[in-house]
Each structure stands twice: as C-alpha cells, then as structure tokens.
Amino acid sequence: MAKKIEKNDLKDSKKIADIEPAKKYDDGEFLTTNHGLRINDNQNSLKSGERGGTLIEDFILREKIHHFDHERIPERIVHARGSAAHGFFELYKPIGQYTKARLFNETGVKTPVFVRFSTVAGSRGSTDLARDVRGFAVKFYTEEGNYDIVGNNIPVFFIQDAMKFPDLIHAVKPEPHNEIPQAGSAHDTFWDFISLMPESMHMIMWAMSDRAIPRSLRMMEGFGVHTFRFINNEGASHFVKFHWKPLLGVHSVVWDEAQKISGKNADFHRQDLWEAIESGAFPEWELGVQIVPEADEHKFEFDLLDPTKIIPEELVAVQRIGKMTLNRNPDNFFAETEQVAFNPGHLIPGIDITNDPLLQGRLFSYVDTQLSRLGSHNFQEIPINRPVSPVHNNQRDGHMRQTINTGRVSYEPNTLGGGCPFQAKASEGGFTSFPERIDSHKIRTRSKSFLDHFSQAKLFFNSQSDAEKSHIIDALCFELGKVQTLAIRERVLILLSRVDIGLAAAVAVYLGISIPKNQGIQLNGSFPADADPATYQSAEVKSSLERSEALSMENTIKNTILTRRVAVLVADGVDEKSLNDMKSALEAEGGVVDLVAPKLGPLSAEDNTEFSITKSFLTTASVLYDAVYVPGGTNSVATLAAEPDALHFLNEAFKHCKPIAADTAALQVLDETYFSRKLPKVFTEKEVMMTGIAMGDDVKQLSGLFIKAIARHRFWDREKPGKVPA
C-alpha cells in the first residue's frame, strides 16, 4: 500500500517528493487522470442522456483530449530524425598530462552516456537512408556535470562561419514554394548555394561519398568536427580533435540499395540499432584524440580552427583512450530520444572551446533551440537531461519548474543562507576558461588562413579506392542531374575541376555539358562593397600529403561478421543438414540468419523437420541483408529455380556486390540467374575472395569461405560491367 500522508508531512516540501506515488495497490493497477483520480469509464464521454450531446463539464474527457492535442513539440530544425541508446564509457589510461577532466583521468569507472544518431536535412518522418550527414551526439553524465560531444559522422563541415548556417539549411531544406524534395540535397537551391561557396568543397567530397549512406549506425565513425582545448592542472593548453572509431569497422550501402531500402524499410538504421542492443550485440566505439600542443598551433599548412579541415592522421596520430558501449535501448522514445538536449557548451573542467567561428555560433544556437522546442530554461530538469552531479544555484521558477527549492535565499552573495551556494575554486573543481590573450579590433572578415578551399578536397578524393571514386562520381551525376538550372551545374563543374579535372570531366560527360573556362568565382558568391575582391579569392595550397589511408573505407576493419544479416533461401524439401550446418556456422561467428521462403508459415525439410518461416520474398528483400546462401534439397532447389522472386533476390544481391554462397546441389538455382556465366571455374579461397561467390559439397569448408567473404563486406569489381538487371 502507498504510504499514508500525515498532516505534519506537509510542513516540509522535501518529504512530499519521498512519498511513494499511488500507482499500484494490492488489487491491481488502475487507470487514473493526471491528478491521480481513478477512472471508472474510459470508453464513453459524459452526455445529456443516452443520445444527448457531450457535456462540457466532463473534465476527464477534456483532460484526455487537451493532453492529446499538445503531445507533439516542435521537431528539431536540423537533426529531426534520430534514434538513441544508453550506455557507458570506460577509460583505458589517464591522460592527465593533457587535461584535468576526471572523465579522462579515472580508470575503472563506467561513466553513463546517452547517444543520439540522426540525419540532418529530413523531417522526423523521412527515411533513414537519405544521402546525408549523420549526427553523432554523446552526452556523458560525469561527476563534474554533463559533458556533450556534439558531432557528426563526417569530420568537417560545409561552412566556416556560423553566420552562414541559416543559409546552408534554408538551401538544403525542401524548396519553400512547393516543399520538395524531402530529405534530399539533389535540387537547385542546395547546389546554387554550394556553387557560390568554394569552402564547401571538402565537405561535398565526403557527402557524395559512401560515408553519407552508412550500412548501420553501428558501423560509422563519429567526429567532434571542431578543434577544442584540453587544459591540465598546470593550466597548460593542448588543442584536441575527437574521433569515435567503431569496432565493427566502417561500412556503407550503395546508392541504388539505399533508395530501395527507403521503400522497403524507412526505419532500417533505427531498427538495426534497436535489434542489435536487444539481442545483446552491443555496439562499441573507441574514443580517439588527436593532440596538438599550443606551441604547434600554426605549424600546419591549414588552420586548426577552420571547421572545413581535418588533421590528417599521418600528421597527428589518433590516440585511442577509451571505449564506449551502448547496452540499453530507451524506455520511451519521446521522453528520452526526443527530449534530450545537447550543447557543445556543456563543458567540464579541463575542456574548453576555441575561436572556431562555427563553434562559437553553435554555443548560442543550441540553447536557443532547446528553449523553442522544450519550452523553458528548465529543460535541464527533464530526466534525460538531468546531471548526476548535484545542482545548486539561484535559478528559480519558470515554466515547468520541477525542483522544489526551500529557504528564503535565491541570490549571491548572501548571509541569510550562510553564503551558500559557494563559488568553487579551480582546485575544488570550479570551471575556469583558458586565459587566451585577446588584443584585436572588432571586425567582420575571414582569416586569410581560411581561404584554402581545395587542398583537402583533393586529398580526400585522391585517398579513395577506385570503387569509392566511382561512387562519388555517380553521386555527383545523380545530384546535379536533378538540378534544372544550367548555370548552377556549370559553376559546380568549375569547382570540381579545381578538386580533380578527371572527376569534373566524368560528371560533365554525364551532364552533357562542357566545363566552363571562366574560373572566377568569388568566396561566398559575393564580397563586401568596400573590400578588394582579390582578397576573397580561394587560395591555392598544395597539400604535403598525396594520400591518407584513414580517409578510405577500403582500409576499414574486415575481420568479423558480427551482426551481419544473412538470408538463406529455402522452400519445402530443403536439405536439413545443408541448412542447419551453415546456419550454425554463421551464428557461431555472430551472424544473424533469416530463412526466406516463397510463403510464410511452416516449412518441411527433406527429413520432415519443420521450420517456421517469418520472412517471405513478399515481405523482405535482398537490400536488407549482407549476404545470401542457398542450401541443397531436390524439391527446394527446383522450387527456387522456378521462382522469379528468388532469382531477383540473388541477381540484386550480386548487383550490390554482396557475398553469395550455395550448396553444390543448389547449382540449378544459380544457373537460372543472370550472373551464372560469371561463376568461378573453381571455388578455391583465392577465387572466392576475388569474386565473392562460393560453392561446395562440404558445408564446413564452404561456411569457412563464406564467412571470410562476408567479413570482406563487398566485392566492388562486379560493378565494372554494370549490366546486372535487378
């Protein structure tokens, strides 16, 4: 039974919060109003007679409808579509020589985290598989206060100054006259803006690469984007860049596949994250830092404070200092994922901001958007945003205040409250800003060190594998092919030619136009009336690096099939041993196996063993899987060989360069596919690892080859002919 409220309890408001809410009784749990009144009839409104009008006095109906009418809050202007999870962070080794933050100095501590992933441009109802940047925001609940790394899966950004952020988002959002297209950058207004902003070209290379269509949120990197400061106990400062490195490697889908997944399952990434955590396959990332001493700030050929630049890992190595594990899904999507409030200004002692002009603007923007969305400065009291460290200040009242403060003092300094709360000295954990020297004039301008717009775009493109370069070209052809204004296409081609002339030429051929000779495009498309136009031109800087291995996904981890999804195509009469032996081998390595058949329900194997089929060719598709296997069994093979949907499933998997394996007894099925003539003559390990296709009688040997092929992820050589009808 709930605790009885005594009269004396009401004298102390703190005791009210300790009283057990009246939710459960010995006789069950009852439906109530928001103020705790048990509801007798939740099926009918109060009426004036059996067929009479509804009475306005029905306060139960009014509360229910009013609450429903106000359930939605404004969605985020950017990063509206997201999914999230709880977890923890563990430090490998202290780094006190760089920062005094306890988070990075106490090993053996599991710091709680909440991580939200998101697309940027689309609305809440858009698809997970849009070509877009992915948000990667991490909230650490530390003993020194909440600390947020609010980043993306791409380490740079489109613009250098927050002044241009509204323009960027207005350009990429659906065009205002017709609200088209949703969650896509392939339209005139976006590329009009980009064509006048040479500083965007590095980010464009990333956004047009496969990084913008990840296979899974669990298989993408995260970056803090900006350069921050670490400050140690001696007050010494180091610049720092943050990296999240997924232990599953960095993998993507292909664009044709992404478009089809959007139609088959628009929640593909959201569901993938949820199911992985529910199954116990907890996603993991290592946190890496690139450290630059204060004295080395100006030693690079780029500006550390320029958010359109990376620090290549060949110049400054990434030190992996800890691991983050996501192990619990949210209990309530709205209360947690929708109401979580991130801010790059949520700092802790030992970490500070820099003069990055994009970061400076974000510090204002994030607080402002929380006020708009969550209705009050008291959004920090929402459970998902509440710090685990004590909160003591004189901030009172306001909309939706939840804390019940006691006492008569709400100011500082004071004597009536004993001087509390006290200011903390730096030695007591008080936050102190880095005492950076400032001696300059107020001015609206851009540093000359920010005018290099092409060297790192070139570095990124040159670092890609042949397949990745081809995908970038295809992406640009698709995007610019949707642009209706010829002048915009031409301006983009001029910019692309300054990245790589072969890249620009390939896109120009597809668009059916020539690269214009006039190379004169001003920075930001314009310049102040009293300024010399020459000072706003892009600077030509040659990178000291030809390539950077870390920029190519070709060099990612390829030693595991953990959580990879494999479709096993079956029909009545399947060879039970051929099926079960492969299934067991895949699952032993962490693979996830689904049986896909012409229809749902029970399926009988050759030995009359029954399998339950939950996926059919009608309800699923090859684009939702990483690999395909066809077991033997005379009747099953004959059925699949005559089933058009089964053949399409295989052809499409082949087109998307996925591993395919079959029992030798299932050769009849593969013979009916378009790619049958491309089958290897022999299925040695060398041939399988070249083609991604395996076949054999010995399932144990076959499964070993198949597992190695799945770990490889894709076999891009299949794209070269480009003639698979699927």
CA contacts within 13 A on the Cβ side of 278: 8
Task: Give dist(CA 457, CA 449) in Å, integer.
Answer: 16
Cβ within 8 Å of residue 453, ≥6 positions away = 198, 199, 201, 202, 308, 523, 538, 539
**Tokens 């997924």 map to which residue?**
246
Alpha-carbon distance 33 to 238, whole Å?
Answer: 55
Helix, strand, coil content of the chain in percent (nearest 5): 35, 15, 50
CB 342 within 8 Å of CB 363 = no
State whether the Cα torsion 683-689-690-695 is positive or negative: positive
597 contact partners, CB below 8 Å, separation of at least 6: 569, 570, 571, 603, 613, 615, 616, 617
- Any catalytic annotation for residue 152? yes
Show the tokens assigned to 537: 């031109």
The answer to whether 134 touches 214, Cβ cutoff 8 Å, is yes
| Contact by Cβ (8 Å): 538, 523 | yes
For residue 176, the one-letter residue type is P
Strands 660-663 and 627-630: parallel
E-state strands within 573-644: 592-597, 601-604, 610-613, 615-616, 627-630
* Residue 337 burial (C-beta neighbours within 10 Å; 0-12, 13-18, 19+): buried
Q: Which two tokens stand for residue 582?
A: 């492969």
Residue 724: both structure tokens together = 């698979």
**Which residues share a beta bridge with 351?**
230
Decide if 41 contacts 34 (C-beta within 8 A): no
Radius of gyration of the chain (CA): 29
The answer to whether 385 is a known catalytic residue is no
How far the first Cα of the chain sits from its last, in Å, is 64
Which of the 8 DSSP states describes residue 284?
A: E
Q: Are 421 and 412 in contact (CB under 8 A)?
A: yes
Separation CA 392–CA 409 (nearest Å): 12
Q: Using the 8-state DSSP alphabet, how is residue 161 labeled?
A: S
DSSP state of 334: I
191 vs 206: CA distance, rounded Å? 15
CB atoms within 10 A of CB 333: 14
Can you spell out the DSSP letters for 443-501?
-----GGG-B-SHHHHHHHHTS-HHHHHHHHHHHHHHHHT---HHHHHHHHHHHHHH-H
Local structure of 255: helix, strand or coil: helix
| Residue where the block lists tokens 């899987």 | 625
- DSSP state letters, 182-235: TT---SHHHHHHHHT-GGGHHHHHHHTSGGGSBS-GGGS-EE--S-EEEE-TT-
- Do β-strands 601-604 and 610-613 pair in parallel, antiparallel, or remain unpaired? antiparallel
Q: How far apart are the C-alpha atoms of 634 and 512, rounded to whole Å?
A: 52
At 23, the amino acid letter reads: K
Give the H/E segment covering residue 370. Answer: helix 357-374
Q: Which of 214, 229, 355 is nearest to 283 (CA)?
A: 214
Residue 287's beta-bridge partner residues?
A: 244, 322
* 127 dihedral zone (left: phi>0; alpha: psi -120 to 50; beta): beta
Question: Which residue in the list 105, 146, 152, 385 is annotated as catalytic?
Answer: 152
Active site residues: 79, 152
